[in-house]
Structure 1
């Protein structure tokens, strides 16, 4: 899908709207508990796996673009975006049907867990506009600008994906 630079400005409005609306919607939905719906306790290992697969997709996509395989890179990145959306839907669904699990570890490990969790949450919010801007620059053919921001987006998104798995592994004994 190719767009003109004029359309890019329209996309920018949507990027900022989504970048603000998604974290607010997630925060609001965290306060909603759906009565009468069975706890969706089977979801955390699934969405942790999706995070892990997203990390693999990101690394593979970078490898493919460095080899000059633009089409494979594009497909991998679109799949990574879809996986991130699936993760978010499952994550919100789980938290709308289940209370948050408290971390039960002690000592230094507790501080490591909360550091990873806090940076994961904060960067998962920060990465939203980066992913969207990077994607729009690619579909609009602004490859120089795409590469420039992708150098920031990639490590942020990879960190969020990998730490999502780590957070799950650290808290899973306490579900």
Structure 2
């Protein structure tokens, strides 16, 4: 059974869809960039780095779902593929909420900051060694790709939902590997930075 045999899940309206996707993408980007500059001092009764751990769990689940979604579509199980990918999108929305919560409540953590004073001494830099360079290489590739992937995800999903499967497939060839990279490196960033959480 080919995807063309499935009726579209929604009515095509490119103008409305483009407006919605770009508004959502800009608002999310602005919220993350703007809120990253602030920190709330609120006692929630638990370690706020729980949100970072939750982010890593969500990113792990998204990475697994992306691989499962690829396997499903290669096996021509398009209904399963659709369910898997929509689940990955829903989890990514939860990730965004958790990510904003973490940055608002925990602030920034510097890699190698053993005494949690926000300043890296020469001793701390030396202790972190070349691992610190590797961490920042991962981080500087992860952040811009995470910032630009959202509209690609939404446009890719939209093309599928309106039944334009060839366009969906073309977009997915760009979206899927970038999204997977963002999810995997998100977990890697957490694993590397978490020892320095206060």
- Normalized against structure 2, the TM-score is what? 0.83
| Deviation beyond 3 Å, 4+ runs, structure 1 | 35-39
Give the conservation status (yes or no) of the 8 Å contact 2:36–2:107.
no
Secondary structure of the structure 1 residue equivalent to 2:128: coil
Q: Answer yes or no: is 1:54 the counterpart of 2:62.
A: yes
Counterpart in the other structure of 2:38: 32
Alpha-carbon shift at residue 8 of structure 1 (Å): 2.4
**Structure 1: gaps spanning 5 or more residues:** none
Question: Shift of residue 75 of structure 1?
Answer: 0.6
Based on CA coordinates, which of the two structures has the bigger radius of gyration? Answer: 2
Note the C-alpha offset of 1:126. 1.3
Question: Would you say how many aligned residue pairs link Structure 1 and Structure 2?
Answer: 174
Which piece of structure 1 moves more, 9-18 or 37-46? Answer: 37-46
Find out whether 1:163 has 2:197 as its counterpart: no
Matched position secondary structure for 1:161: helix
Secondary structure in 1 aligned to 2:110?
Answer: coil
How far apart, CA to CA, are the structure 1 residues paired with 2:158 and 2:98? 25
Q: Is residue 137 from structure 1 mapped to residue 144 from structure 2 by the alignment?
A: no
Q: Which residue of 1 aligns with 2:104?
A: 96
Give 1:77's aligned residue: 85
Q: 1:68 aligns with which of 76, 85, 99?
A: 76
Deviation, structure 1 residue 107: 2.6
**Where do 5+ consecutive residues of structure 2 fail to align?**
1-7, 113-126
Which residue is 1:15 aligned to? 21
Q: Is the 8 A contact 1:8 1:136 kept in 2?
A: no
**Structure 1 position 122, deviation (Å):** 0.4
Counterpart of 2:173 in 1: which secondary structure? Answer: helix
User: TM-score scaled to structure 1, two decimals?
Assistant: 0.94
Partner in structure 2 of residue 114 of structure 1: 136
The equivalent residue for 1:2 is 9
Given candidates 145, 168, 171, the residue that maps to 1:123 is: 145
* CA distance in structure 2 between the aligned counterparts of 1:47 and 1:3, rounded to whole angstroms: 30
Q: How much does 1:34 deviate?
A: 2.6
Tell me the equivalent position of 2:124.
none
Contact kept, 8 Å, 1:47 with 1:90, in 2: the verdict is yes
